[in-house]
Amino acid sequence: MIHFPKINKEDKTPNRLMSRKDVLDFFQISETTLYRWSMKETKIPYIKINRRKFYKYSDVEKLIENNYSPNFSV
């Protein structure tokens, strides 16, 4: 079975998928934390292909944006 990535209608670019290791390295978190985020707290959705989990780069960006808190204490 061949997998073709979805193409965004707005900008005509395919959604970039990140492997579990990519997400772990990106956030510098442990496997346990990623498991908790994706399974227990449902902070980040995943795509399961066979036995592997992938994460959309856009979902990772949303997670960052949703948890952004500017610190303006001077």
**Domain ranges, residue 60:** 17-66
Q: pLDDT value at position 56?
A: 93
Looking at the whole model, is its pTM more than 0.85?
A: no
Dist. CA 65–CA 13, nearest whole Å: 21
Residue 33 within a domain? yes
Residue 74 within a domain? no
The burial class, CB within 10 Å (0-12 / 13-18 / 19+), for 23 is buried
Which residue is listed with tokens 């994460």? Answer: 55
39 vs 73, residue with greater confidence: 39
Give the total number of structural domains in the chain. 1
